[in-house]
Amino acid sequence: MDFGTVFHKALELTASGKTTTQVINTVIKLYKDTSVDQMLVREACVLVPHYIAINKNSNIKYIAQERVFDIPYKSVTTGKIIRLRGRRDEEFIRNKKLWLQENKTKTTIDENKIIMTLPHDLQTMLYIYSMTHDYPDKPIGGVLYNVIRRPSTKQSAKETELQYLQRLSATVAKDPEHFFKRYEVELVQSDITNFFNQTLVPLIENVVIWWESIKSNPFNPWVDEQGNVNPHHYRTPFGIFDPMTLGVGDYFELTTTGRELGLVRVETVFPELQGEQGSVSKLDFSSGALWEAKKSADKAKKKSVKNN
């Protein structure tokens, strides 16, 4: 996180027109007396001139950099206005279409994952949606995903700090494309519409419902205003596996396109618990049937205890 923050600041300074030397001096001074690891600051500064050099011939003409957005959204649950705020990295026009440039630092770069998931990435698509609000007359072209690889090399015991940084600089100079990559992902209107309807609105409304449930006493969110258990606030337990945190997961195609490739529909959840290992009967959850069955079981239990 620190490396990304430092390098992002360097990109801001570069975009403001500062020279390479000015950028490096400003970054070092800015983070000198902070908790940020100073070696990370120096590593970021080593990459700055190489980044500037590899992109100096870019024909991109930015129309905005680090632009703040503040968009009103009317909640369908409460009717109240929710402010969607953020700061977009960079924007440019290409072939009469509007493009977003997102700058990211990563230790590892998975090209396929980036291309597949970008149209479903929360931050990126929120920025894209905000651009449709700020530029209503300009069609969206897509996203230029600008990735800076964080160095994985470390200073050896025999190296001074200067020797290590010189070695790092030589490594970057030898293979700059390993450290700096750009991916263009085109978007169509349906990508933006689907994100708004299927991701953004449900997320916002769930946050609205949650806040409404705790706002009377945010410091005791476990009960509602009537003192009942609050079903909208919970503690996330350990032991929950989410494959999408590691990659696209087995259900990526299903959730993003509706395709069921490689999946099989089943009649019963956890079929291994059926048969000898569990009940084979199906419970009727409608019309209070499950509750009636429970009352009958409790009544039979009481009768058995009484007879004994």
CATH number at residue 98: 3.90.320
Is residue 202 situated within a structural domain?
A: yes
Which structural domain, as residue segments, surrounds residue 238? Answer: 61-156+179-242
One domain for residues 145 and 282: no
Largest CA distance in the chain: 92
- pLDDT at residue 172, rounded to an integer: 94
Q: Give the model confidence (pLDDT) of 231-243 as tens digits.
A: 999 998 988 887 7
DSSP 3-state assignment of 308? Answer: coil
How far from the centroid of its chain's Cα atoms is residue 63's Cα?
A: 25
- pLDDT at residue 243, rounded to an integer: 72
**What contacts 198, CB < 8 A, 6 or more positions away?**
none
- pLDDT at residue 299, rounded to an integer: 62
Q: Which residue has the tokens 């953004």?
A: 200
One domain for residues 202 and 87: yes
How far from the centroid of its chain's Cα atoms is residue 171's Cα?
A: 31
Rounded Cα distance between 284 and 48, Å, is: 65
Type of residue found at 167:
R
8 Å CB contact between 82 and 208: yes
- Dig out the tokens for 277 from the structure: 């290992």
Rounded Cα distance between 65 and 51, Å, is: 17
Is residue 42 situated within a structural domain?
A: no
pLDDT beneath 50: ranges in the chain: 277-278, 280, 285
Is residue 265 situated within a structural domain?
A: no
One domain for residues 186 and 302: no
One domain for residues 84 and 211: yes
Determine phi and psi for 85, rounding to 5 degrees: -125, 150
Dump the DSSP string for 64-115.
EEEEEEEEEEE-TTT--EEEEEEEEEEEEEETTEEEEEEEEEESS--HHHHH
Is residue 165 situated within a structural domain?
A: no
- pLDDT at residue 80, rounded to an integer: 96
One domain for residues 83 and 130: yes
Q: Which residue has the tokens 């700090």?
A: 161
Domain count, the chain: 2
8 Å CB contact between 50 and 179: yes
- pLDDT at residue 184, rounded to an integer: 95
Smallest Cα–Cα separation from 211: which of 221, 201, 203? 221
Is residue 232 situated within a structural domain?
A: yes
**DSSP class of residue 23?**
H
H runs (alpha helix) in the chain: 2-15, 20-31, 38-54, 111-117, 122-134, 161-174, 176-179, 189-195, 201-214, 252-257, 289-307
- pLDDT at residue 251, rounded to an integer: 83
One domain for residues 277 and 221: no
- pLDDT at residue 161, rounded to an integer: 92
**What contacts 267, CB < 8 A, 6 or more positions away?**
none
8 Å CB contact between 263 and 269: no
Q: Which of 199, 223, 242 is the last residue of a domain?
A: 242
CA atoms lying within 13 Å on the CB side of residue 231: 0
pTM for the whole structure:
0.80
Is residue 3 situated within a structural domain?
A: no
